[in-house]
Structure 1
């Protein structure tokens, strides 16, 4: 069977609903400037929400999903997905698989699930949920809340502004497992940060 790709682009600034059928066909799905509901295939799709407050479901396959400029809800589904919330306050869930989830700008909720995920919250006051799996969690600017979950996780704490000025007022619960917290970019422990159940803090 020859692999093929389906291109679906909605037009107009109002809203749209797309669900692409065909288990042997990957899709490139583009939303509108409105509030869209976009559903991928069971193949490796590329989905862009663009403007509006979108609901995006990658389903199976190793999908690439870009939320766009609205307040989006993104579920990767099964597979090793790459999710980027881009702008505004988004909720992103990698679901099953080894996922790469980036909240982007805004006050986001970023979640892994089963699998060894790479989670980045970006800029903003974010909430990060590692859940199961040995995750790599990159904590950016803002006052963030991190619940790493099960397994042996690595949490990277970045800095804001000039070197030596840590990103602010983070709460990190490393959860179960042998976990490591590393301060990057000349960062250092700030007395306003709080770490719970973290075996190694460097």
Structure 2
């Protein structure tokens, strides 16, 4: 029997430790590849739509800053479900509603690690990631990585019923040229982030009056 810390690899799967005699569930990782950031891109938006009518889907999203570095860091991120911010609040009064469609609430704590979230049936989970300013040449690149549990067969494709798209927009919400990657353009990747994931939970239901 292999030692507990031994790992197995697949070119399109993240490494997962072997536990006892059972092979654990694998993860499949998809990437946009490195995207050359438009100088006018002020927010990187990642949308994940769970089209399933009955089952929730768990995803992990990472937005990495590759700008002139070999050791990428995570963009500051805010997650939204149905337009409501899910990040921890910095205010004793809780998270206030968004004032515009683009600028996130200013009283929430940004997340600087990959975000893990379980999207409810027919739910739209949106991430707003803030790249550093300004753009620094020659390589102002970033990358979006999405990880799914392995519940489909090879060749790997993005998980069925979760539609992933990403856009680069300016402060007015206008998509910027060259910073759009659609669902069918994601490619499988063996790379996973070493940074621990930050799970966030949906807001509690409103009180019954």
TM bucket (normalised to shorter chain) is: under 0.3
User: TM-score normalized by structure 1?
Assistant: 0.23
Which structure's relative contact order is higher, taking Cα pairs within 8 Å and 6+ residues apart? 2
